[in-house]
A = this chain, B = another copy of it.
Amino acid sequence: MANEILNFGKIDTYPVYVEPFHVDFTGRIFMGVLGNHLLNAAGNHSQKRGWGIGALNESHHTWVLSRLSIEMLEMPCQYEHFEVKTWVESVIKLFTNRNFAIQRPDGTPLGYARSIWAMIDMDTRRPCDLFSLYNGDILNYVVSEEENICPIDGHGRFRFRDAELIRTIDTFYSDVDINGHINSIKYIEHILDIFPRERYEKGIRRFEIAYKTESYLGDRLSLYLQPVDENEFDVEVRKNVTADSAGDVVCQAKIRFN
């Protein structure tokens, strides 16, 4: 493991190219696609350090994404090359904070992101003590304070009081990942799809999501909208809401438009 630390350092750079079908009608990358690139960068960073899904699955552990907050100065355009830098900010027993910088190859910042991950036992689905796994090896990858440059707010809190049901959708084959769960990126797409076209002419400044409970192929998702101010909206996704039941909260998101 010591060799790998020397070889890789603590911050990785993951190169991305913006494909034509990955941009919206304004020619800028979809937030969901950007989120997917961040998760790939994270997976790659973990894997290279012996903490990837593959290695973990052997001991019946896996990473679960709990929070993701992305704040953009500018969204990359079709055919643009950009980079995702990622590193571990901190580890707090049951969770790890991983940050991202999104930038042009010349170093111009495009945006930043923060994420929180839990390690769960795949059998019990309970979170694990990260310090006890591999003798606390994960602490070797935490960056210094100087390296942790992520000048965006932390994850916010959600308070849903009078959210309005906006849309109910069924989930299908293409929503589901290899674990049979609705995939983290598809929630982002479904949530952003409730806003009208005009909102995207100016684009998204910040997108936050908190994943609460897993949902599965065939689950019916209800999306509730709660405006915060003129440009900011909270959205709650619940599954299997019926006349008698408020269902379960699947995820909550906050969208700030430019």
Tell whether A1 is near chain B: CB-to-CB under 8 Å. Answer: no
Please, which residues of chain B bring their CB within 8 A of the CB of A184?
Answer: 21
Please, which residues of chain B bring their CB within 8 A of the CB of A23?
Answer: 177-178
Tell whether A197 is near chain B: CB-to-CB under 8 Å. Answer: yes
A197 touches B177 (CB 8 A): no
Indicate with 1 or 0, residue by residue over A184-221, a CB within 8 angstroms of chain B CB atoms.
11000100111101001000000000000000011000
Minimum CB–CB distance for A68 against chain B, Å: 13
B217 touches A174 (CB 8 A): no
Q: How far is the CA of A137 from the CA of B177 in the complex (A)?
A: 44
Q: How many protomers of this protein does the assembly include?
A: 2
B172 touches A20 (CB 8 A): no
Please, which residues of chain B bring their CB within 8 A of the CB of A179?
Answer: 25
Minimum CB–CB distance for A211 against chain B, Å: 14
Query: In chain A between 43 and 98, which residues have their CB closer than 8 angstroms to a CB of chain B?
Result: 43, 53-54, 78-79
Tell whether A180 is near chain B: CB-to-CB under 8 Å. Answer: yes
Indicate with 1 or 0, residue by residue over A111-147, a CB within 8 angstroms of chain B CB atoms.
0000000000000000000000000000000000000
* 9 nearest A-B pairs in the assembled complex, by CB-CB distance: A172-B193, A174-B189, A27-B178, A25-B176, A25-B180, A21-B36, A173-B193, A174-B193, A23-B178
